[in-house]
Amino acid sequence: MAEHPQVSDFIAYLRLKNLSPGTIAGYQGALKRLFVHTGLGQSAPSQITTAQLRDYIASLLERNLAANTVRNEVLVIKRFFGFLLAEGYMEEDPSPGIPLPKVGKRLPKALTIPQVQILFATMSARTATGRRDQMFFRLVYACGLRIGEAVRLRVENINWEESWLRVVGKGNKERRVYLKPYLVADLRAYVEENGLEGYLFPGGAGHITVRNMGRQLKKYAEKAGLPRHITPHALRHSIAVHYLIGGAPISFVQGLLGHESLETTGVYTRLVDQMAKEITLNTRTAVDGIESKSLREGTGFYAPGFEAWDAFVSDVLEWLGRPLSDE
């Protein structure tokens, strides 16, 4: 069924849109599942009806699939039939009557700066594998790389004089990511030590695999006492959040990550807000636990033991050469 001219034209259209091979394969899989369910046989996909589409979506929901999974299937269907309508294969699109399942907005998982530091500390620089992994994940983090982008990095992607890295992202779109001086120095040492000329991270298939590096990160996360479900993509999320917390413009983060839409990058601002809320609620401050009555009566701050704090402050100021003021 995947060889039907209508499907072939649709796949060719997706390739022209510069979608990745993995994304296109996902579209093909979704359409194949639809065709099998409808028993299309030798009929043209344009003959599928709204009733058949509704029946198919109902079958997915009956299997208790995740709402996001069903939503993705519906989106593929809508895009496919929208294409058939635009190309004149059909006079009426059967998919508008198919509702999109509602899914909750999931915030990306991000690590704190100390967590990232602990993670990197578990990657021993005393072994060749440890040095490779440390270099790999530092680039993923510092440059906000997708893991698929990182495994395909080549030595010629590096501009040593101007300290930037050329990254080839989704749809073969390129972006330039600048490197901090220490990272350039470490990267140069890594390249020279290993005598690299092609891929920065070589492997059996030319370059190291995405799956291999995913397994490596899980191992380091477990060793660092972090959740084992941490993926390389969490490092990409983390640098985005860390830059925003540090005051970087969202347009900078958009360029760093290679997002086409600023709306895509905007999800990180919600994560920053969530982290700010959690910090506010979970960090103890001087006024926590003080009742309004205590404040009105002028008590509460000077609880038993406060004199010890006074003495500590006095000792610190004396050590700094500044006497405790009476003012």
Note whether residue 177 is domain-resident.
Answer: yes
d(CA 7, CA 25): 12
Range of the domain at 131: 113-279
Clarify whether 259 is annotated catalytic. Answer: yes
Whether 220 and 129 have beta carbons less than 8 Å apart is answered as no
CATH number of residue 236's parent domain: 1.10.443.10
CATH number of residue 59's parent domain: 1.10.150
- Residue of 236, 237, 242, 243 marked active site: 236
Clarify whether 182 is annotated catalytic. Answer: no
Clarify whether 302 is annotated catalytic. Answer: no
Per-residue confidence at 137, pLDDT binned at 50, 70, 90?
Answer: very high
- Give 36-88 pLDDT, tens digit per residue: 888 876 678 888 888 889 888 888 888 887 777 888 898 899 999 999 989 88
> Are 225 and 324 contained in the same domain?
no
Does the pLDDT value for residue 189 go beyond 90?
A: yes
> Are 140 and 9 contained in the same domain?
no
> Are 117 and 247 contained in the same domain?
yes
Better pLDDT: 221 or 248:
221
**Overall number of domains in the chain:** 3
> Are 232 and 306 contained in the same domain?
no
Q: What is the residue type of 24?
A: I
Number of Cα atoms under 13 Å in the Cβ half of residue 93: 16
> Are 151 and 259 contained in the same domain?
yes
User: At which of 67, 86, 105 does a domain end?
Assistant: 86
Clarify whether 270 is annotated catalytic. Answer: no
Mean pLDDT of 180-199: 91
Spatial CB neighbours of 45, under 8 Å, sequence gap ≥ 6: 4, 6, 7, 31, 35, 80, 84
pTM above 0.75, yes or no: no
Clarify whether 146 is annotated catalytic. Answer: yes
Does the pLDDT value for residue 210 go beyond 60?
A: yes
> Are 194 and 270 contained in the same domain?
yes
User: At which of 48, 70, 86 does a domain end?
Assistant: 86
